[in-house]
A = this chain, B = another copy of it.
Amino acid sequence: MSALLEQLIDALRVLPGVGPKSAQRMAYHVLERERAGGQRLSEALAAAVEKIGHCERCRDFSETPVCATCASASRDAHLLCVVESPADRLAIEQATGYRGLYYVLQGRLSPLDGIGPRELGLDRLSERLAQGEVQELIIATNPTVEGEATAHYLAQLARQQRVRPSRLAHGVPLGGELEYVDRGTLSHAFGSRSEMVD
């Protein structure tokens, strides 16, 4: 087999869920039928990897220092919704009518993996809460063990700064991932979020 083809098949395996067989099928498909699309994908990948960084305010992916949502004057700065990943943020944005701001942890507390509050930028989140603009911190971490621990930590952080913490309502299936919850369930859970008390 052509060395370049082998390299392509190997490189495709970087994509999640792509094993040797599907990588091979993808490579052949692109070469047989989609060379222009393959070229476009190559350019889109290079541009994304090079230019997409993180928003200074919310840590979501952004190609500008501050992302469009954080820069928007029409979003309600009194509400801040904390999610684990950009995909979770997108799922909430698409499923609900939420008009507040977001904070993307890009992970969850996981001491065994060396991921503590600092790695998630919680020091900067705390400073932001201290500024007094945020009134409610909507905690939308995943309903997993680590997500719940992170939610607990975030609720404490909020209370320290006299910000009201809330969390999504039950209805999100336990053990699931927000990204894969159907819109109706997600919208309902988002609407009936409840205040956290301990």
- Residues on A facing B (Cβ under 8 Å): 1-5, 7-8, 10-12, 14-17, 22, 24-32, 34-35, 37-52, 61-63, 67, 85-87, 90, 106, 179
In the complex, the count of this chain's copies comes to 2
Name the B residues within 8 Å of A3 (CB-CB). Answer: 63
With A5-B61, A62-B2 as known contacts, state yes or no: A49 contacts B42, CB within 8 Å: yes
With A28-B87, A106-B32 as known contacts, state yes or no: A47 contacts B4, CB within 8 Å: yes
5 closest A-B pairs (Cβ-Cβ)? A14-B37, A42-B45, A11-B44, A11-B41, A42-B46
Q: Establish whether residues B30 and A48, one from each chain, have CB atoms under 8 Å apart when the complex forms.
A: yes
Name the B residues within 8 Å of A63 (CB-CB). Answer: 2-5
Q: Establish whether residues A1 and B90, one from each chain, have CB atoms under 8 Å apart when the complex forms.
A: yes
- Cross-chain pairs A/B with CB under 8 angstroms, 7 sampled: A8-B45, A16-B26, A25-B179, A27-B48, A30-B48, A31-B48, A31-B86
Q: Establish whether residues B2 and A14, one from each chain, have CB atoms under 8 Å apart when the complex forms.
A: no
Residue in B closest to A64 when the chains form the complex, CB atoms? B2
- Other A-B pairs beyond A5-B61, A11-B45, A16-B25, 6, CB < 8 Å: A4-B51, A11-B37, A12-B15, A15-B30, A24-B87, A39-B46
With A3-B63, A24-B87, A90-B24 as known contacts, state yes or no: A45 contacts B49, CB within 8 Å: no
> How far is B22's CA from A157's CA once the two chains are assembled, in angstroms?
35
Contact of A47 among B7, B44, B47 (CB under 8 A): B7
